[in-house]
Structure 1
Amino acid sequence: MDGDLNPDQGITDGDSNPDEGSFLQVASNPDEVIDIESNVENIQCNAREKTPPIVSLEESYAGDLYGKIVKNEQEAYDLYNEYAARIGFSIRKKQKRYDKNGDLSTLNFSCSKEGFQQDSDPCEEKKTKRLDERTGCQAKIRFLLEDGEWKVSTFDPEHNHELAMPEERQFLRSNRKISEAHMDCYNFVSREKRIMLEAGDAQSLINHFKRKQAEDPMFFYTVQVDQENRMTNFFWRDGRSIIDYECFGDVVVFDTTYRTNKYNMICAPFVGVNHHWSNVLLGCAFLLDEKTATFEWLFEAFLESMGNQKPITIFTDQCQAMANAIMVVFPGTCHRLCTWHISTNATRNIPTLYRIPEFKKLFNKCLDGCLYAIREKWCPMFSQDAFSVRIKSTQRSESMNNVFHRMSTKTMTLTEFVLHYEKQANGMRSKELEETFRCKQGLPSTAAKNSGFLKRAASVYTRKIYKFLEYEFVGSLAVKMREVESDGTLQTFELNEEGHIIVYVVKFNSSTFNISCSCKRFESMGLLCRHALRVMNVKEVSQIPNQYILKRWTKDAKKEWNENEHG
């Protein structure tokens, strides 16, 4: 039996400032058009014209905005921002709300000191320590859309902190005075455009997403913008991705090793494993940075787009900010580290040693078996109870690495990258469709021609998954076993493979056919191990018990979705 059929061997197929960390989320509303160029012009106008008015404190407190009416979103922002300048505080934009038809219905703004800053990791080194400016202030305003106009429906003017004095208001973040004496406006805008995105490219990407949504009602995208309403981060997935996630979203590989060279933005795909043991693209993101707040926004967007169904296991690179976000957004999800990234880092950082065969062998042995502070995240023996399709994500990251690096060029725009992403996704789906067709055409040849057990497995599982089970079935013939305990229908066996000293314990119930093995292969992969198969063979179990046939590995894994799609 070809050893390459063993999936265990890897089959190839800093948080920001509170003001900076608060973002406005733009949902996937096809009617909403975001004019990036006008945003840049607004920055220029603000730089030249806006100076916070200086008024007495008594006069400042006289304002009551409840019931005020404005014509559009920008006027709503300006109304509260100008009021804040008079009072002596800075504002932040909160999440927009949309009605059931997807139309924008609510605008929310709050004092910049709203909420509390999350505690940072005391062990995490930071170049600069930022001030904790949050006080839990409740001052806020809400605009509701009524008859085409925005009306203030909620206005809370009470602050729980000291307000800025008149001479201090020029330093308020949302109303900071910018003059030519302090900064050259043109250079400022040009630099911001280079750091962020070219306006035309960003607008082109949004327009592309809108067209896709018009074609595919299940298409989802969302954009994060900063306080100046400039786009910073993007996430999207198409309608097929949510179907794939419904069927195979138990295990997700999230990778941030790819960058679009034109803006040096991070391209971060979400990847799953289908019933043919092949990669499926579940969504993708463009990110400007790798901060905890950014990952929280992205994971929340991903979760929302997938019906708030969390994965059982998520594989990532080693990144503390990412780990922080996973604990917040995916509580209860098993977080594992990609051994491929660890091995890649080893080849990069200790290339001379890693080229020595004996050192590489010992390093890899250490990688699989040694203990240290985060061992439960990357050492398989500490997370065998969590379903992970029993991959180390080596083959997943490696194969996707080849795909995405081929897609990146120094001149490729974001929209061009998305088009290439769609082309790759379509190619992968075409291969899946072809493999599904081949599975329906006949049964694979079995190693034991007269084995009813294998015939049943061949009729149920896809070809690739059947080969995994057959590999274990043949391997079970070399497993020695002895019964060590019997209590009615419950029996306990000790087994070990020829040439190996590890002893595995299998418990078998002859009345229910329930079986468990200490190797935890079924719990982690969803396929019976050779030790369990050995016991079943001796006990003359002629077919795989139904409770041990995981639907995600069968030919019918997507049957319900395919039937719905084709009527």
Structure 2
Amino acid sequence: MEVMMGQKGGAESVGFTGKDLANHLDKQKRKRVKDGDAVAALSYLQGKLDSDPLFFFKYNKSEQGNLLNLLWCDGTSRMDYNVFGDVVAFDNTYKKNKYNKPLVIFCGYNHHKQTTIFAAALVHDEKTETFIWVLETLTEAMFNRHPKVAVTDGDLAMKEAIRVVWPNTTHRQCAWHIHQNALKNIRNLDFADEFKLFVYANLNPDKFGEKWDKLVEKYGIANNPWIDTMYETRASWASTFMQDKFFAGIRTTSLCEGINSFIKNYLHCKCSLLDFLFNFERAMKKYRHNELESDFKSSYGEPVMTTALSGIEYGAAKILTRSMFWEVKGQIEDALGLNVERSEVANIVMMKMRKISNRRKEYIVVYDKNQKKFVCECGYFEFYGIPCSHIIAGMRSEYIDEFPSNLVSKRWLKTAKSAHVYSISEPSIHSQNMKLLRKGAMSAACNYLAEIACEKDDDFSSVMEDIYKLLRDVQKSRKPGCTTKSAAFNVGDPTVVQGRGAPKKTRTVTKRRHCSNCRGIGHTIRTCPVLLYPDQVNNSETGESASEGIEDSTDDEVILIFTIFIAWSDHNHVACAFGYIIVKIEMIYRQTLAA
């Protein structure tokens, strides 16, 4: 409304009010969901298949035919999952639609270390059976590929579903939630600070047990049930027991929390399913636009080399994305402050690393000259996918002035997505999956082309001409493919889900106001019918009351007069007077017939 007022020069020139605009928009929304909110939402998803051949959605219904659970993802998300889906984080959020259905978002990191969304699901409840259906459907959408690592907030239903559907996936509990639980269960700030060591530090398993026993003895919590539970499940939250796992730097569900904070600008608790899907897609486009900007920055221009290890620094800038290059550069700068003690036995070099500022802390790096492979006991490369400062210091000690490709994960390379697209023609991939992946790759490439070509008129016209020409050339040798028809969905709108927490209090019935003249209910002295229509309520000349008239009347007259009384009690005085006149006319008419 403010935009229109600005264009017209004021509210008086627009021709309608803000309320008129709101009514018009509400009318349009009702038209879109005339067959039901669930049917409109599913038809919208079905229509996405026409523009995105790799689009996927699946739902199930209750016994009454209402929509229960729904999962969907587009072609770009499915392609991203095949490249970056080795580590997946997911969590719930609430109050994003008018049915109060929890929203489950599956996300991870792309090659720029930016959040990317793999899929989303609206679920009816948070039971184990529901999460099993969600994970099985997600696996079906992602060509039966399981993630290597799944990070959640520690919900027991999620944990059991991961164990059933993804038995070979490492489940990690959110480190932030673990620390918060420590504060709640052991109300001691000093304990919480020391507990962080067990969550984040890469200790030796035997050393972990020794330090744990000392911690328990120090604070006298040997018989605490929460402490016993945490020690039994230490393999799912302590970094000590996950040093050989690749997590892409993800230890918490902060990715999900960031998405929840971002999409609240697009979604609210009064969203219908159709509006929810449309606005969620708008939020997804914002994430995709950030990736396009990062791709451009990584492809064009080179950062300034500032460290003494220019060869290693330049090699990292050449193959890594810009954001990951800054991560490696930080490790290069830290490596310059390390002191190296070297010893060699049969082409195996062992180096002890100590910081100049802290000589007590020591790390050991082993270098195999034959295989040209570095291994550091800190486990940073295995966890993050980039070399740590200790390995870079070892490279400096061995006079290696180039960045070796085996010291970086392929997911952080500039060519991470493009290399995967070219590799989908491998014969090991199933033919149907290969066809879908090719469709998704071509769709993603066309989306990227449209993002660039639509900025200028000349580019748009030229690209469209080339596309039509290419389309005609392809159709000459092959029959044109048929378009996907919209399916008819026989599904009812979902029921409102009962949220967590205490139930809402029932509203107490307030006392109705009485008239100060006749003590009646539903009107005041200003509108009292006794004062406004004294002849109709009580005939003072004959002394005959309205009730006596009703007793002498016929059954039809009693019904009519009773209808008048109901109208009168509902403030409908016009109807009351009109009905009274009709009764009188009816009585006179019957008396005339009787005479």
TM-score between the two structures when normalised by the length of structure 1: 0.60
> What is the rounded CA distance, in whole Å, between the counterparts of 2:90 and 2:34 in structure 1?
27
Structure 2 distance, partners of 1:400, 1:292, is 24
Where does residue 458 of structure 1 map in the other structure? 317
CA distance in 1, matches of 2:304, 2:94: 41
Give identity over the alignment, percent.
Answer: 30
CA distance in 2, matches of 1:536, 1:209: 53
Partner of 1:495: 353
Match of residue 392 from structure 1:
251
Provide the C-alpha distance between the structure 2 equivalents of 1:368 and 1:263, rounded to a whole number of angstroms: 39
Alignment of 1:368-379 (within 5 A): 368=200, 372-379=231-238
1:288 and 2:124 are equivalent in the alignment: yes
Amino acid at match of 1:294: T
Alignment correspondent of 1:173:
none
Q: How does 1:210-229 map to 2 (within 5 A)?
A: 210-229=46-65
Note closer, same or farther for the CA distance 1:449–1:539 as it changes in structure 2 (3 Å cut): closer
Q: 1:329 aligns with which of 159, 165, 168?
A: 165
The structural deviation recorded for 1:224 is 1.7
C-alpha deviation, 1:346, in angstroms: 7.1
Q: Quick one: distance in 1 between partners of 2:274 and 2:331? A: 46
Aligned to 1:319: 155
| Aligned pair partner of 2:364 in 500, 505, 522 | 505
Counterpart contact for 1:256–1:317, Cα < 8 Å? no
Report the CA distance shift for 1:501/1:204 in structure 2 as closer, same or farther (over 3 A).
farther
Q: Do 2:266 and 2:283's aligned partners in 1 also have CA atoms closer than 8 Å?
A: no
2:352 aligned with 1:516: no
- Which residue is 2:329 aligned to? 470
Q: Which amino acid aligns with 1:530?
A: S
Residue in 1 aligned with 2:20?
A: none
**Hey, what does 1:309 align to over in structure 2?**
145
Structure 1 residue 359: Cα displacement: 7.2
Counterpart of 1:245, as a letter, is Y
Distance in 2 (CA, whole Å) between partners of 1:221 and 1:203 is: 14
Match of 2:109 in 1: 273
Bigger helix fraction:
2
**CA deviation map 1:209-249 (0-9, x unaligned):** 11112221100000022334432100000010011112111
Looking at structure 1, the residues matched to 75 and 394 of structure 2 have their Cα atoms a distance apart, in angstroms, of 44
Once the two structures are TM-superposed, the CA of residue 408 in structure 1 deviates from its matched residue by 3.7
- Contact 2:175 2:237 (8 Å CA) reproduced: yes
Conserved 8 A contact 2:83-2:420? no
> 1:223 corresponds to which letter in structure 2?
Y
Deviation at 1:366, TM superposition (A): 5.9
- Checking the alignment, whether the CA contact within 8 Å between 1:218 and 1:239 is kept in structure 2 is yes
For residues 358 and 414 of structure 2, the distance between their equivalents in structure 1, rounded to whole angstroms, comes to 36
Q: Distance in 2 between matches of 1:445 and 1:460?
A: 15
CA distance in 2 between partners of 1:380 and 1:480 (Å)? 26
What's 1:542 paired with? 401
- The equivalent residue for 1:437 is 296
1:532 aligns with 2:391: yes
Of the structure 1 ranges 461-470 and 390-399, higher mean CA displacement relative to structure 2 is found in 390-399
Q: Which runs of structure 2 are paired with 1:114-129 in the superposition (5 Å)?
A: none
CA contact (8 A) 1:256 1:266 kept: yes
What SS does structure 1 have at the residue aligned with 2:231? coil
Specify the SS of the correspondent of 2:104: strand
Shift of 1:544: 2.1
Q: Which amino acid aligns with 1:276?
A: H
Looking at structure 2, the residues matched to 449 and 298 of structure 1 have their Cα atoms a distance apart, in angstroms, of 51
Larger relative CO (CA 8 A, sep 6+): 1 or 2? 2
Superposed, 1:131-150 pairs within 5 Å as: none
- After superposition, the Cα gap between the structure-2 partners of 1:360 and 1:328, relative to the gap in structure 1 and judged at 3 Å, is closer
> 2:199 and 2:405 mapped to 1: Cα distance?
36
Structure 2 contact 95–269 (Cα < 8 Å) conserved: no
Task: Report how far residue 393 of structure 1 moved.
Answer: 2.6
For residues 410 and 260 of structure 1, the distance between their equivalents in structure 2, rounded to whole angstroms, comes to 5
> Which residue number corresponds to residue 275 of structure 2?
416
Q: Cα distance 1:335–1:350, how it changes in 2: closer, same or farther (>3 A)?
A: closer
Gaps of at least 5 residues in structure 2 are 1-32, 202-211, 213-229, 423-440, 447-595
Counterpart contact for 1:258–1:401, Cα < 8 Å: no
Query: Match for residue 252 of structure 1?
Result: 88
From the superposition, tell whether residues 300 and 493 of structure 1 become closer, same or farther in structure 2 (CA, over 3 Å): same
CA contact (8 A) 1:245 1:306 kept: yes
Q: Give yes or no for contact 2:112–2:321 (8 Å, CA) kept in 1.
A: yes
Match of 1:203 in 2: 39
In 1, are the aligned partners of 2:107 and 2:118 still within 8 Å (CA)? yes
Q: CA deviation at 1:332?
A: 1.4
**Corresponding position of 1:446:** 305
**CA distance change for structure 1 residues 412 and 501 in 2, over 3 Å: closer, same or farther?**
farther
**Whole-angstrom CA distance in 2 between matches of 1:467 and 1:512:** 28
Q: In structure 2, do the counterparts of structure 1 residues 261 and 423 end up closer, same or farther at CA, with 3 Å as the change threshold?
A: closer
Which residue type is aligned with residue 491 of structure 1? V
Indicate if the aligned counterparts of 1:472 and 1:529 stay in contact, CA closer than 8 A. Answer: yes
Structure 1 gaps, min length 5:
1-196
Secondary structure in structure 2 of the residue aligned to 1:423: helix
* Aligned-partner Cα distance in 1 for 2:264–2:416: 31
Larger gyration radius, structure 1 or structure 2? 2
Measure how far apart 1:261 and its partner are: 4.7
Question: Does structure 1 conserve the Cα–Cα contact (< 8 Å) formed by 2:182 and 2:192?
Answer: no
Answer yes or no: is the 8 Å Cα contact 1:254–1:316 preserved in 2.
yes
Does the 8 Å CA contact 2:101/2:122 hold for their aligned counterparts?
yes
Separation (CA, whole Å) in 2 of partners of 1:317 and 1:478: 37
Which of the residues 227, 239, 249 maps onto 1:380?
Answer: 239
Shift of 1:292: 1.4
Which of 368-377 and 205-214 deviates more?
Answer: 368-377
- Secondary structure of the residue aligned to 1:473 is helix
Q: Say if 1:461 and 1:555, in contact at 8 Å, map to a contact too.
A: yes
Post-superposition offset of 1:313:
0.8
Q: Distance in 2 between matches of 1:547 and 1:203?
A: 51
Instruction: Report the AA paired with residue 298 of structure 2.
Output: C
Cα pair distance change 1:317/1:257, threshold 3 Å: farther
Q: In 2, Cα distance between the equivalents of 1:418 and 1:343?
A: 35
Counterpart position of 2:478: none
**Matching residue within 174, 191, 195 for 1:338:** 174
Alpha-carbon distance in structure 1 between the residues aligned to 2:149 and 2:377:
20
The aligned amino acid for 1:289 is D
**Which string of whole-angstrom CA distances, capped at 9 and with x for unpartnered residues, describes residues 272-315 of structure 1?**
10111100010100011111111111111101111111111111
Once the two structures are TM-superposed, the CA of residue 504 in structure 1 deviates from its matched residue by 2.0
Change (3 A) 1:478 1:395: farther
**Deviations for 1:37-75, whole angstroms, at most 9, x for unmatched residues?**
xxxxxxxxxxxxxxxxxxxxxxxxxxxxxxxxxxxxxxx
SS at match of 1:495: strand
Separation of aligned partners in 1, 2:348 and 2:118 = 43
Write the mapping of 1:18-33 to structure 2, written as runs, cut at 5 A: none
Once residues 247 and 293 of structure 1 are traced to their aligned partners in structure 2, the CA distance between those partners, rounded to angstroms, is 29
Q: Are the equivalent residues in 2 in contact too, given 1:340–1:397 (CA < 8 A)?
A: no
- The whole-number CA distance in structure 2 between the counterparts of 1:246 and 1:367 is 30
Distance 1:524 1:198 in 2: 52
Tell me by how many angstroms 1:373 deviates.
2.2
- Answer whether contact 1:447 1:470 (CA < 8 A) is retained: no
Deviations 1:67-96 (A, max 9, x none): xxxxxxxxxxxxxxxxxxxxxxxxxxxxxx
Cα separation, partners in 2 of 1:280 and 1:479, compared to 1, 3 Å: same
The structure 1 residue matched to 2:340, chosen from 481, 493, 504, is: 481
Contact kept? 1:315, 1:337, Cα under 8 Å: yes
Aligned partner of 2:394: which letter? Answer: V
